[in-house]
């Protein structure tokens, strides 16, 4: 078990310097689209190098070429510790040379246990009968989780874990292969499901790992991670490099945004925020169930209500309880009659105990859960089929007509509204980049025009520009009469989209914030002491690298 020795190695061995990974003139073409155009960058030993860019700019394609999933176009060169790879890279080659990767999809097998997923391909046979020593395997697996200060049950089926636990398992699997001083670990949007505390532990561990000389390539949309934790950054725009290995010291999230988009971000102004209406609110009362006890709140017409808190505070259980996905032992939701239905229509009182997901949908409640891969995006179906799925299945149940032309027209409207790229209803969703898949997922449920829309981390894995597009669509739904609740851990998302935010602690609402509120206001309320720790405590290195900027102040 190599990780346990990292601290010791750091104390004794100066971290090696020099180029670990060099990518030179790499291109990739799918059909007629050239999605990577002669890109070049290098990652140094002992650094955290961020690779950023808008959805579809080519980041995952780079990761997939490096791990042997894709074959690049002829002409490029990929070298590792000074030695070129034979292209395409084979997964075995990548692993033998010390490259580990956590793909955006995490690459876990749901039917297997945590232990199986962690140790697959790494089991060691010992003793005269060459048997696997399971006690030893368990200890090795536990030691990795200890390093990230997480306790994930080794015998749990991965399919039964939540999104954060799944991410932790995939990260742990890559980390266990890190040999101090050697190799490169690639994290492709792997931190997207981590809550704040887990994120801090992750970066603390990363700091220890890179201090030994191991390199890290971090693909992320969280610009705070780049500013706080990366040493250098490479920026892709439309498949081309616009900044190669630029020092991060002194950069702000705003500078990065401009470089990523190629323009300044057009902020959603206060004038875009619909005023909360005067009509009757949705009333949530006495909800008790997994993670929360006797909570209640209102969602006013026209407003977007946010729920947040630390992991385990219960805020993220609420959408699942209200949608009948998690069982509630008590509580109700009252949805007022739509004003357009006239004075005779009465409010609907929905009892939560015994509510099933299909009862909730029939009552006008839609849930956009976290984790599109496991919760309803069908990769082999087209964008149009995915967007129109709730409508087509309802039409089928009610024996109503729904034409292919109608399906396509619906998809085209949402592709335009959410700026899905490429803007083609007919392509399989699996060929879209991760962020564009997320837009399709959100569109699918926004298109159902529900009375009450519950969202959990709706802008996860989307770029900063797309985050604004999705936020705008959510706010438009609220302005058009849908009651909207967003549960999320991303303070930037919440401050952008919400009019009010309820902050949870210990399964109850602790504080209420009202717009305008900054991301820092939200973090301050989440942490009782108001502090926002830096993600990475940079350890002083024994030998400064060229252009090193440890401890440089960041904005």
Ligand X SMILES: Nc1ncnc2c1ncn2[C@@H]1O[C@H](COP(=O)(O)OP(=O)(O)OP(=O)(O)O)[C@@H](O)[C@H]1O
> Count of residues binding ligand X (CB under 6 A)?
18
* Per-residue tokens: 251: 């950069």
What's the min distance (Å) between Cβ of 102 and ligand X? 13
Considering the complex, state which of residue 433 and residue 548 has its C-beta at the smaller distance from ligand X. 433
371 contributes a contact to ligand X by CB under 6 A = no
Residue positions counted in the chain? 555
498 contributes a contact to ligand X by CB under 6 A = no
**Which of 61, 234, 366, 492 lies at the binding interface for ligand X (CB under 6 A)?**
61
Considering the complex, state which of residue 216 and residue 295 has its C-beta at the smaller distance from ligand X. 216
Considering the complex, state which of residue 59 and residue 300 has its C-beta at the smaller distance from ligand X. 59
Considering the complex, state which of residue 207 and residue 243 has its C-beta at the smaller distance from ligand X. 243
Considering the complex, state which of residue 69 and residue 249 has its C-beta at the smaller distance from ligand X. 69
Considering the complex, state which of residue 242 and residue 276 has its C-beta at the smaller distance from ligand X. 242
Please, what is the end-to-end C-alpha distance for the chain in angstroms?
38
Considering the complex, state which of residue 102 and residue 295 has its C-beta at the smaller distance from ligand X. 102
| Site stretch for ligand X (CB under 6 A), options 1-9, 52-60, 278-286, 377-385 | 52-60
Say if CB 331 and CB 321 are below 8 A apart: yes
| DSSP character string of 12-71 | HSPPP-SEEEEEEEEEEEETTEEEEEEEEEEEETT-EEEEEESTTSSHHHHHHHHTTSSP
319 contributes a contact to ligand X by CB under 6 A = no
- The Cα 453–Cα 161 span in angstroms is 24
- The Cα 55–Cα 433 span in angstroms is 6
What's the min distance (Å) between Cβ of 223 and ligand X? 13
Question: Quick one: how far is CA 506 from the chain centroid?
Answer: 24
Strands 508-514 and 184-188: unpaired
What's the min distance (Å) between Cβ of 193 and ligand X? 14
| Site stretch for ligand X (CB under 6 A), options 49-57, 203-211, 496-504, 544-552 | 49-57
| Site stretch for ligand X (CB under 6 A), options 51-59, 92-100, 115-123, 351-359 | 51-59
What's the min distance (Å) between Cβ of 248 and ligand X? 19
Considering the complex, state which of residue 60 and residue 391 has its C-beta at the smaller distance from ligand X. 60
Tell whether omega for the bond before 169 is within 30 degrees of 0, i.e. cis: no
**Which residues, 6 or more positions from 413, have their beta carbon under 8 angstroms from its beta carbon?**
none
What's the min distance (Å) between Cβ of 433 and ligand X? 3
- The Cα 72–Cα 37 span in angstroms is 11
What's the min distance (Å) between Cβ of 441 and ligand X? 12
| Site stretch for ligand X (CB under 6 A), options 56-64, 85-93, 280-288, 329-337 | 56-64
**Which of 27, 57, 117, 386 lies at the binding interface for ligand X (CB under 6 A)?**
57
Say if CB 125 and CB 131 are below 8 A apart: yes
What's the min distance (Å) between Cβ of 192 and ligand X? 10
Considering the complex, state which of residue 30 and residue 134 has its C-beta at the smaller distance from ligand X. 30
Considering the complex, state which of residue 65 and residue 365 has its C-beta at the smaller distance from ligand X. 65
**Which residues, 6 or more positions from 45, have their beta carbon under 8 angstroms from its beta carbon?**
15, 16, 17, 18, 19, 20, 213, 214, 215
Q: Burial of 400 by CB count in 10 Å (0-12 exposed, 13-18 middle, 19+ buried)?
A: exposed
**Which residues, 6 or more positions from 261, have their beta carbon under 8 angstroms from its beta carbon?**
54, 464, 465
Strands 232-237 and 240-247: antiparallel
Question: Quick one: how far is CA 10 from the chain centroid?
Answer: 31
Q: Burial of 497 by CB count in 10 Å (0-12 exposed, 13-18 middle, 19+ buried)?
A: buried
60 contributes a contact to ligand X by CB under 6 A = yes
What's the min distance (Å) between Cβ of 313 and ligand X? 29
Considering the complex, state which of residue 246 and residue 554 has its C-beta at the smaller distance from ligand X. 246
Between residue 408 and residue 467, which ones bind ligand X under the rule CB under 6 A? 431-436, 463
Between residue 74 and residue 113, which ones bind ligand X under the rule CB under 6 A? 104
Considering the complex, state which of residue 53 and residue 181 has its C-beta at the smaller distance from ligand X. 53
Beta-bridge mates of residue 34: 29
**Residue 22, SS3?**
strand
| Site stretch for ligand X (CB under 6 A), options 58-66, 175-183, 349-357, 533-541 | 58-66
**Which of 35, 106, 140, 383 lies at the binding interface for ligand X (CB under 6 A)?**
35
**Which of 46, 56, 213, 314 lies at the binding interface for ligand X (CB under 6 A)?**
56
**Residue 441, SS3?**
helix
Question: Quick one: how far is CA 369 from the chain centroid?
Answer: 12
44 contributes a contact to ligand X by CB under 6 A = no
What's the min distance (Å) between Cβ of 239 and ligand X? 7
**Residue 533, SS3?**
coil
What's the min distance (Å) between Cβ of 414 and ligand X? 17
Considering the complex, state which of residue 260 and residue 295 has its C-beta at the smaller distance from ligand X. 260
User: What separation in angstroms does the CA of 149 have from each of 100, 159, 165, 201?
Assistant: 21, 22, 12, 7
Beta-bridge mates of residue 26: 39
**Residue 139, SS3?**
helix
Cα–Cα–Cα angle for 164, 167, 172, rounded to 5 degrees:
125
What's the min distance (Å) between Cβ of 191 and ligand X? 13
**Which of 16, 53, 183, 450 lies at the binding interface for ligand X (CB under 6 A)?**
53
Binding site for ligand X (CB under 6 A): 30, 35, 53, 55-61, 104, 431-436, 463
């Amino acid at each position: 078990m190599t990780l346990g020795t990292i601290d010791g190695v750091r104390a004794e061995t100066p971290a090696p310097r020099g180029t670990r990974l060099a990518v030179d003139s790499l291109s990739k073409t799918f059909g007629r689209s050239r999605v990577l155009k002669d890109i070049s960058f290098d990652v140094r030993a002992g650094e955290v190098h961020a690779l950023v860019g808008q959805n579809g700019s080519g980041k995952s394609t780079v990761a997939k070429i490096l791990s042997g999933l894709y074959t690049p176009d002829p002409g490029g060169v990929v070298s590792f510790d000074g030695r070129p790879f034979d292209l395409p890279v084979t997964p075995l080659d990548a692993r033998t040379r010390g490259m580990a990767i956590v793909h955006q999809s995490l690459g876990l097998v749901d039917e297997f246990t945590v232990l199986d997923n962690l140790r697959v391909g790494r089991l060691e046979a010992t003793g005269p009968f060459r048997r696997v020593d399971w006690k030893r395997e368990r200890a090795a697996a536990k030691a990795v989780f200890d390093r990230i200060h997480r306790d994930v049950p080794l015998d749990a089926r991965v399919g039964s874990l939540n999104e954060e636990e799944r991410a932790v398992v995939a990260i742990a699997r890559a980390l266990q292969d890190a040999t101090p001083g050697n190799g490169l670990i690639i994290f492709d949007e792997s931190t997207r499901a981590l809550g704040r505390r887990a994120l801090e532990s992750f970066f603390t561990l990363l700091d220890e790992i890179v201090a030994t000389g191991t390199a890290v390539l971090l693909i992320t949309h969280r610009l705070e991670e780049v500013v706080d934790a990366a040493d250098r950054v490479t920026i892709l725009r439309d498949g081309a490099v616009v900044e190669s290995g630029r020092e991060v010291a002194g950069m702000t999230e705003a500078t990065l945004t401009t470089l990523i988009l190629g323009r300044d971000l057009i902020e959603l102004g206060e004038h875009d925020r619909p005023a909360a209406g005067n009509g009757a609110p949705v009333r949530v009362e006495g909800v008790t169930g997994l993670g929360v006890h006797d909570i209640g709140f209102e969602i006013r017409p026209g407003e977007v209500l946010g729920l947040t808190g630390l992991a385990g505070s219960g805020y993220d259980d609420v959408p699942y309880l209200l949608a009948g996905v998690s069982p509630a032992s008590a509580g109700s939701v009252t949805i007022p009659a739509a004003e357009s239905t006239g004075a005779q229509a009465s409010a609907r009182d929905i009892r939560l105990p015994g509510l099933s997901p299909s009862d909730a949908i029939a009552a006008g409640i839609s849930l956009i859960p976290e984790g599109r891969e496991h919760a309803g995006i069908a990769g082999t179906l087209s964008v149009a089929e995915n967007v129109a799925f709730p409508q087509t299945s309802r039409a089928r149940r009610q024996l109503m007509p729904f034409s292919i032309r109608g399906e396509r027209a619906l998809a085209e409207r949402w592709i335009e509204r959410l700026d899905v790229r490429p803007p083609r209803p007919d392509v399989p969703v699996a060929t879209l980049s991760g962020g564009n898949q997320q837009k399709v997922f959100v569109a699918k449920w926004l298109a159902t025009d529900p009375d009450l829309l519950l969202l959990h981390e709706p802008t996860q894995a989307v770029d900063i520009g797309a985050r604004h597009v999705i936020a705008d669509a959510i706010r438009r739904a609220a302005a058009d009469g849908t009651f909207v609740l967003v549960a999320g851990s991303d303070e930037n998302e919440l401050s952008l989209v919400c009019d009010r935010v309820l902050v949870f602690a210990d399964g109850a609402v602790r504080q209420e914030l009202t717009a305008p509120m900054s991301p820092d206001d939200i973090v301050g309320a989440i942490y009782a002491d108001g502090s926002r720790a830096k993600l990475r405590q940079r350890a002083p290195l024994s030998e400064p690298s060229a252009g090193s900027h440890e401890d440089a102040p960041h904005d």
